[in-house]
């Protein structure tokens, strides 16, 4: 399953909920990209889950929020075409609000 998270981890518990589901992929978009910032509140959670989940983030949203130089190790940055490819690759998709 591909989990799509568009809310900041400082605002909503979407990342925590997604991590409890098992395994798959997690794509951060919009304000969700704040989760992948080095030194952020979600860094330890993401690092601990890297064996169970693949992590992706939308590059345009990273750039729009000035986080280009703060992306954690292990995060694959994708463009809009990559976003579409991920949605097609995973059998099911869940958008977290």
The phi and psi torsions of 81 (rounded to 5 degrees) equal -65, -40
* Whole-structure pTM value: 0.95
Look at residues 50, 44, 40 and name the one whose alpha carbon lies nearest to residue 10: 40
CATH of the domain at 27: 3.40.1260.10
Name the residue range of residue 28's domain.
2-96
Joined tokens for residue 78: 């994708």
| pLDDT, one tens digit for every residue, the chain (97 residues) | 999 999 999 999 999 999 999 889 999 999 999 999 999 999 999 999 999 999 999 999 999 999 999 999 999 999 999 999 999 999 999 999 8
Q: What single-letter DSSP state applies at residue 52?
A: T
| Number of compact structural domains in the chain | 1
Pairing of strands 75-78, 93-96: unpaired
54: β partners: 25
Joined tokens for residue 91: 């059998």
């Amino acid at each position: 399953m591909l989990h799509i998270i568009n809310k900041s981890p400082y605002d909503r518990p979407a990342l925590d909920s997604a991590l409890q589901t098992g395994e798959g992929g997690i794509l951060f978009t919009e304000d969700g990209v704040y989760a992948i910032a080095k030194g952020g509140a979600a860094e330890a959670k993401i690092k601990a889950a890297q064996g169970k989940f693949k992590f992706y983030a939308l590059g345009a949203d990273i750039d729009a929020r000035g986080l280009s130089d703060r992306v954690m190790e292990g995060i694959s940055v994708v463009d809009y075409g990559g976003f579409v490819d991920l949605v097609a690759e995973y059998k099911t998709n869940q958008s977290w609000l």
